[in-house]
Structure 1
Amino acid sequence: MEVIVPFSTGRPKSRLSDVLSPDERSEFARAMLDDVLETVAAAGGDPRVLATDAVDVDHPATVDDRPLTEAVNAALDARLGADGEDDAETDGPAEPVAVVMADLALATPAALDRLFAAGRDADVAMAPGRGGGTNAFVTSHPEFRVDYHGASYLDHREIAAEIGAAFAAVDSQRLGTDVDEPADLAEVLIHGEGRSAAWLREAGFALDASGGRVAAVRK
């Protein structure tokens, strides 16, 4: 299954600016991207980066500097066809395509396996984020397109209903945790097993529970 991984190369992870410098945010974002690409491949997916600028990765990459919604929809147009038509190359219904965000540092092959399996049974299978965003999805419906803003998961459910697409929700803590805020760094240190967790530790972050809740602090 082809898996599109959107990645912003310019000023990534701005909400981490209180704890990471611009260069550190770029390094950390790249560590998360590498984790996601490795996890997608381990789950049997074919990862393809959709970046806002040129990026050096060991997988195919496409540059599209438009906003996320426009860039992803253009990618879906190219792969699923328009106007509900069948896939011209395969002379049949389009194969499912997935979109997995590049900041899912806790994703595992098993979690993605669940998403991919759900996407083979439903027209749209989606893993919501903790704040109501859309962290990952699979679709084979030629009319499904995205609208990323705010609680986009609810909007995407409505879009699926409007086009008559069978929808499946995939409840996953691993896929539901996108790393955007300083509080999310503790989750990476607790549950992360790849480059992202290693990068945080090398940068001096450790878990601290002195304030009554576990947090990632720089020693």
Structure 2
Amino acid sequence: MQLFVPFAAERPKTRLSAVLDNDERRELSRAMLDDVLDALERAAPVSPTVLATAPLESNHRVVVDDRPLTEAVNARLGSAPTAVVMADLPLATPDALGPLFETSTDLAIAAGLGGGTNAFLARDPAFHVDYHGASYLDHLAIAEKAGLSITEIDSRRLAVDVDEPEDLAELLLHGEGAAREWLVDAGFELDTGSGRVTVARSDGRM
């Protein structure tokens, strides 16, 4: 089995630019990556490889591919089984990831809350990816057209990917690792004053 964790090493998480500067986005992204790698080390049958857009120091194997995500992942799907787990899933735990690797269907797949694809394990090389738009539905359609058997992994911890400022509240509420610690150290805290749980910074920068 191959197991890849795609990681944007140069300009990560641009949609968080309203609340984090570039250096902060790099640090938080790296903390999330470390959380995902740690969870995978305890859940997966093989050690993960970081599929990075630029060279990266890591205790894990790093493969550099600066092509768009769809092209970079498809280039590695010719040999099955292949698993891909996104780097921005800081709520992922070994228990949440375990069912992905325990399935026997041609495709096991976990959706993101916004319709993206946060993780999959393809056991048939007929599967390919297209990460544009609502990729989860697209990937189901690709698998169905190829006649593949499918297991949909229903997991809140795998569904939460941190892309937008409001996602930081989920990380503070339910996170357990380095990414949550980074947010706390950076002065983030939960804010319930508006009736909905959001985040605020102690230095007032939000």
Q: Shared fold (TM-score greater than 0.5)?
A: yes
TM-score (norm 2): 0.95
Partner of 1:141: 124
Listed as ranges, the matches of 1:140-159 within 5 Å are: 140-159=123-142
Deviations 1:123-175 (A, max 9, x none): 00100001110000001101111000110000000100111110110110000
Partner of 2:36: 36
Separation in 2, partners of 1:211, 1:174: 25
Alpha-carbon separation, structure 1, partners of 2:76 and 2:188: 37
Please show how residues 41-190 of structure 1 align to structure 2 within 5 Å.
41-44=41-44, 45-77=46-78, 80=79, 94=80, 96-118=81-103, 121-190=104-173
What 5-or-longer segments of structure 2 have no aligned partner? none
Matched, 1:3 2:3: yes
Partner SS state of residue 112, structure 1: helix
Measured on the aligned residues, the alpha-carbon RMSD in Å equals 0.9
Specify every segment of 5 or more residues in structure 1 that has no aligned partner in the other structure, as ranges: 81-93
The answer as to whether partners of 1:99 and 1:136 remain within 8 angstroms in 2 is yes
Displacement of 1:62:
0.4
Q: 1-side partners of 2:39 and 2:114: how far apart?
A: 23
Alignment size in residue pairs: 201
Quick one: distance in 1 between partners of 2:142 and 2:33?
28
Residue-by-residue CA offset, 1:49-100 (whole Å, 9 max, x unaligned):
00000001111110000000000001212xx1xxxxxxxxxxxxx4x22100
Match among 210, 213, 219 for residue 193 of structure 2:
210
In structure 2, C-alpha distance between the alignment counterparts of 1:209 and 1:33, rounded to whole Å? 28
Partner Cα separation in structure 2 for residue 69 and residue 129 of structure 1: 16
CA contact (8 A) 1:3 1:40 kept: no
Identity over the aligned pairs, expressed in percent? 58
Aligned twin of 1:21: 21
